[in-house]
Amino acid sequence: MSRTSTFLTWMPGVQWIPHDIPADGSGNARNEKPKSKSGRLQFLHPSLLKYSRYPVYRRRVSTISLTGESNKALEARTCDQLESLMFGKLPYELRLMVYEYLVGEGETVHLTLAGAEKKRKYGHFILDEGIIGRQEQTMRECGCKVLVGGGVCRKLSGVLGLAMSCRRASSETIHLLYAPNTFSLLHATHLFYLPSQIPYQRLNSIHTLHLRWTIRALPFLRRPTSPNRYAYPEDTANWIQGWNILSNMQGLRELYVVLCETKGQRIWERGWTDAEEKLMAEVKGVVRPQMFVVVLPYESCRVDGWEWGDCSVELRRPMVEE
């Protein structure tokens, strides 16, 4: 018998159980697979769902309170952390003032995606300070590009570090990472992954969103040789999915979308004119933003004469580069 096995026989049979998992074994529910798919939320019509290669949102059990309040039904519970002077001496109202001071007026946060298709993770970088003033004056897209090769850039600081320090700090500050900041998506793919990467309670906390949507292939395009089906079903499904995601963001107050082709190309201009009724029908579903601007891809696009109902969108033609 080895020394290791001999030593183990002398140890008392004590099983360590984490304090935040009930002793009755109910904590094993975290590893159980859902027995039904009734909680699955699909953004696409069933006929187009098969064409989308982006993940569909599924409900998941959170291990932390999304409201910052204690929930006895959660498996993982937050300790009081009263040994910290921050939590032991300051009331919540004063702590909230400290958190808001750390956040300030918010930043413009660009999201990035990394990893294999089934293991996508968001990263981020902060808008260059030299561009902020020009962007606010002209309401044009900032001109930043998605970082390739790990370029050096600014990151969020302050309240982000505090939110990562412990579970209680995260519960009290996590909402401040979303509401004050402007989220700017430089690629439509970043929008499609939002529901599967960010819990909906957090997604609904985003108030300001800017999106640059490059049209790879024209949605709803039908070719004369095949009039009964769409020429690009995947891009049609993505168009519907993208606007449905935006329409389901309940906290959205300001939305700025720039539609464009690859710079220097005008491949889909004629097709856009033919399909613009169907294209704009998806935009009408976004009714929550109080300030909603869509910059169309071509000067020939129609901006007047639309019936929007409850949608407050303002259509603009692209600005001519000087």
Contact 39, 58 (CB under 8 A): yes
So where are the chain's domains?
Answer: 3-316
Higher pLDDT, 15 or 289: 289
Q: With cut-offs at 50, 70 and 90, classify the pLDDT of residue 262.
A: confident
Above 60 in pLDDT, residue 27? no
Give the C-alpha separation, 127 to 124, whole Å: 10
Q: Which of 3-17, 72-86, 231-245, 259-273 has the least mean pLDDT? A: 3-17
DSSP assignment of 58-125, as one string?
B----SS-SSSS--TTSSS-----TTSHHHHHS-HHHHHHHHHHHHTT--EEEEEEES-GGG-EEEEE
Q: With cut-offs at 50, 70 and 90, classify the pLDDT of residue 128.
A: low
Average pLDDT on 26-47 reads: 46
Q: Which pLDDT score, from 0 to 100, does residue 50 have?
A: 54
Q: Is 208 helix (H, G, I), strand (E, B) or coil?
A: strand
Contact 144, 135 (CB under 8 A): no
Kindly state the tokens that stand for 178. 């979303």
Give the C-alpha separation, 142 to 74, whole Å: 42
Higher pLDDT, 2 or 12: 2
Above 80 in pLDDT, residue 216? yes
Contact 98, 106 (CB under 8 A): no
Other C-beta atoms lying within 10 Å of the C-beta of residue 124? 17
Helices (H), the chain: 3-10, 46-49, 85-89, 92-103, 129-138, 159-163, 167-173, 188-192, 194-197, 200-203, 233-247, 269-283
Q: Which pLDDT score, from 0 to 100, does residue 118 have?
A: 61
